[in-house]
C-alpha cells in the first residue's frame, strides 16, 4: 500500500473516502465538525438519530455528503474521549482501514491522525497509523491456489496533519512507520510459513537475501553442523540431533560507517518446528509449534527495518535454528550434555529445548564484548498464564536495560512487563548430576527458564523477552503477529545517541 502525507480541509478532499472520528458521547472530532459545518448539520442529524454512537472501533459509511468533494465519508467510533490513548487509537485506525480494505475503497484520506492522543505527538500518530494500517491489510495467502476475495483492496492511504509545519516531522515518521511495517510483515510471513517450508536453511536463505538487498548495510554468515561442532555448541547440537533437517547458526551484522560503539546483540530462538522431542507434545494444537521460530523471525524483521532507516548503530543478530524432533538419535530425559560455556546440563525435559539453543548463542555473543544482549524467544507457556496475550515478559541482569525495553514497548504500543529474577528461583534448577537442570518444575516456569539463561549471560548486560503470549494468535485469527519487532526497533533507535 502507498502512503502519503498532506495538510488540508477534509471537506475539500477529492478522494474515494475521508475518514473522521466520533466519540461515544456523540461528540464529533474536529475534522468531522468541519465536514458537518460544510454539510449544514448532515452528520449531526445522523448522530442524533442514533445511527452512530461513537463506540470504539464502530464504523458508518456515508455516501454523497452535501458540500464535500469525497465520494464517501467514513465515521469511526473513538470511544470515550477521556480514555482515548494509544491502544484506543490503534483500534480505531485498524478498524477503519480494515473496513476500507474490505469494501472496495481504493484510496482514502484519514483524519484520525489529527486527533489528540494522550502523551502522543503528531509524529507518533503518523508512525503508528502506518503500522496499524499495514497490520489491518496484512494477508497471508501465498500458499492458496485460489482466493475467494474479489474486492478491490485499499491501495493508497493519505495521512492528514493539522498544519503545514507538521509536514517535515510527518514525512520522517511516515518513513519510520513504513520501515517498521515492513519488518513486522517479514516476521509475520516467516512465522506463518509451515515447518516443511520454513526450515533452518530457509531462515539462512532469508538472512542472505537481506544482505543482498542491503549491500554494505548487512553482512550475513551462516555456520553449518561441522562449524557448530567445532565451536563445541553441545547444548544446541543436543536439541538438533534427533532431526533429519540440518541446523544452521546464523550471524548477521549491521554497522554504519564510523560507528565505534560496542554492538547491541539480538539473539532469536529459531526452532522451526517443536515436536517436544522424546517428551512429545499432545497432538492438539501441535501445528502451532511452527511459530516456535518467532524470535528468529523478529530478529530478521528488525534487521529489515534498521537497514531501511540506517541509524548510526552497530547491531549483531544471532539465530540458532533447528528442529526439535523425536528419533532414535534424539536426546533423552536424564542425558547430560556439555554446553559451549563448559557448563554441564541435565536434560530433564527435551521439550525445554529453546533455552538449550539460546544458552550456546548467549555464550557465542561474548566474543563481541557487547554493550547489551537481548534474546527473544517463545520460551514458556507459563508466561501466557502470567501475562496473557497482552504483554511479553522482560527478565534480565541489568535494571537499566530492562527499564529501557519496557519503555520502548510502551512507546511502540507493543507492551512488555518486567518480571523478577531473584536468586531464590535458581534453587529449582539444582541437579544432583550436572551443573544445572534444564527445567525447574511447573511453579514459576517462565522465571526459572530465565534463570537458566542467566547462567550463560553473566559477562554483559542481558535481557530476555519471553514472547510466547504475543508472537502469534490462536483460534479463528490464528497467525503470527510480528511482535516484538516494534518494541525492538524502538529500543534500538533510542540507543542511537547513547554515550559509548
DSSP string, 157-174: EEEE-SSGGGHHHHHHHH
CATH: 3.40.50.2000, 3.40.50.300, 3.40.220.10, 3.10.20.30. Which one for 2-168? 3.40.220.10
Domain ranges of the chain: 2-168, 182-494
CA–CA separation, 64 vs 74, rounded Å?
11
Bridge partners (DSSP) listed for residue 20: 75
Is the bond into 484 cis (omega within 30 degrees of 0)?
yes
In the three-class reduction of DSSP (H, G, I as helix; E, B as strand; rest coil), residue 225 is classed as helix
Find the length of the chain: 500
What is the model's pTM? 0.96
Confidence of residue 104 (pLDDT cuts 50, 70, 90): confident
Burial of 358 per CB tally in 10 Å (0-12, 13-18, 19+): buried
pLDDT digits (tens, 9 = 90+) for 230-273: 999 999 999 999 999 999 999 999 999 989 999 999 999 999 99
Q: Residues with catalytic annotation?
A: 281, 355
pLDDT digits (tens, 9 = 90+) for 131-159: 999 999 999 998 998 765 656 789 999 99
CATH code 3.40.630.10 for 182-494: yes
Could you tell me the CA-to-CA distances from 137 to 20, 89, 131, 439 in Å, in that order?
19, 17, 10, 40
The region that residue 317 occupies, defined by phi over 0 for left and psi between -120 and 50 for alpha, beta otherwise, is beta
> Which grid cell is 189?
510471513
pLDDT digits (tens, 9 = 90+) for 392-423: 999 999 999 999 999 999 999 999 999 999 99
Amino acid at each position: 500500500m502507498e502512503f502519503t502525507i498532506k495538510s488540508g480541509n477534509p471537506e475539500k478532499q477529492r478522494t474515494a473516502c475521508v475518514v473522521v472520528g466520533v466519540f461515544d458521547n456523540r461528540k464529533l472530532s474536529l475534522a468531522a465538525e468541519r465536514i458537518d459545518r460544510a454539510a449544514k448539520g448532515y452528520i449531526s442529524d445522523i448522530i442524533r438519530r442514533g445511527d452512530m454512537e461513537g463506540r470504539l472501533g464502530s464504523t458508518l459509511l456515508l455516501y454523497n455528503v452535501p458540500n464535500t468533494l469525497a465520494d464517501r465519508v467514513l465515521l469511526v467510533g473513538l470511544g470515550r474521549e477521556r480514555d482515548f490513548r494509544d491502544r484506543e487509537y490503534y483500534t480505531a485506525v485498524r478498524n477503519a482501514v480494515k473496513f476500507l480494505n474490505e469494501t472496495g475503497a481504493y484510496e482514502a484520506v484519514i483524519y484520525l491522525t489529527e486527533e489528540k492522543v494522550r502523551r502522543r505527538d503528531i509524529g507518533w500518530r503518523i508512525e503508528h497509523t502506518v503500522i496499524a494500517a499495514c497490520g489491518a491489510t496484512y494477508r497471508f495467502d501465498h500458499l492458496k491456489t485460489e482466493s475467494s476475495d474479489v474486492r478491490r483492496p485499499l491501495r493508497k492511504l493519505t495521512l492528514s496533519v493539522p498544519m503545514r509545519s507538521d509536514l517535515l516531522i510527518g514525512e520522517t515518521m511516515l518513513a519510520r512507520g513504513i520501515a517498521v511495517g515492513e519488518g513486522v510483515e517479514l516476521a509475520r510471513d516467516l512465522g506463518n510459513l509451515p515447518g516443511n517450508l520454513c526450515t533452518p536453511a530457509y531462515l539462512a536463505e532469508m538472512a542472505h537475501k537481506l544482505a543482498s538487498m542491503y549491500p554494505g548495510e548487512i553482512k550475513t554468515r551462516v555456520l553449518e553442523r561441522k562449524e557448530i561442532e567445532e565451536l563445541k555448541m553441545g547444548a544446541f547440537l543436543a536439541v538438533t540431533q534427533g532431526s533429519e533437517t540440518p541446523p544452521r547458526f546464523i550471524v548477521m551484522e549491521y554497522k554504519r560507517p564510523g560507528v565505534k560503539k560496542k554492538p547491541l546483540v539480538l539473539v532469536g530462538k529459531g526452532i522451526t518446528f517443536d515436536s517436544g522431542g522424546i517428551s512429545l507434545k499432545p497432538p492438539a494444537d501441535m501445528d502451532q509449534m511452527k511459530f516456535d521460530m518467532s524470535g528468529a523471525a523478529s530478529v530478521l524483521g528488525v534487521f529489515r527495518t534498521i537497514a531501511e532507516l540506517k541509524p548510526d548503530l552497530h547491531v549483531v543478530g544471532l539465530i540458532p535454528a533447528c528442529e526439535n524432533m523425536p528419533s532414535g538419535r534424539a536426546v533423552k530425559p536424564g542425558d547430560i550434555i556439555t554446553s559451549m560455556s563448559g557448563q554441564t546440563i541435565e536434560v530433564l525435559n527435551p521439550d525445554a529445548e529453546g533455552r538449550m539453543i539460546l544458552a550456546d548463542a548467549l555464550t557465542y555473543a561474548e566474543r563481541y564484548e557487547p554493550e547489551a544482549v537481548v534474546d527473544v524467544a517463545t520460551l514458556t507457556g507459563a508466561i501466557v498464564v502470567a501475562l496473557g496475550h497482552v504483554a511479553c515478559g522482560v527478565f534480565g541482569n541489568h535494571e537499566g536495560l530492562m527499564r529501557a525495553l519496557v519503555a520502548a514497548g510502551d512507546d511502540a504500543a507493543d507492551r512488555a512487563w518486567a518480571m523478577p529474577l531473584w536468586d531464590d528461583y535458581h534453587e529449582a534448577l539444582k541437579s544432583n548430576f550436572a551443573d544445572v537442570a534444564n527445567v525447574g518444575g511447573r511453579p514459576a516456569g517462565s522465571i526459572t527458564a530465565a534463570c537458566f539463561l542467566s547462567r550463560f549471560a553473566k559477562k554483559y548486560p542481558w535481557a530476555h523477552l519471553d514472547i510466547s503470549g504475543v508472537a502469534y494468535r490462536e483460534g479463528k485469527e490464528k497467525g503470527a503477529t510480528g511482535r516484538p519487532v516494534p518494541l525492538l526497533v524502538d529500543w534500538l533507535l533510542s540507543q542511537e545517541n547513547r554515550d559509548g
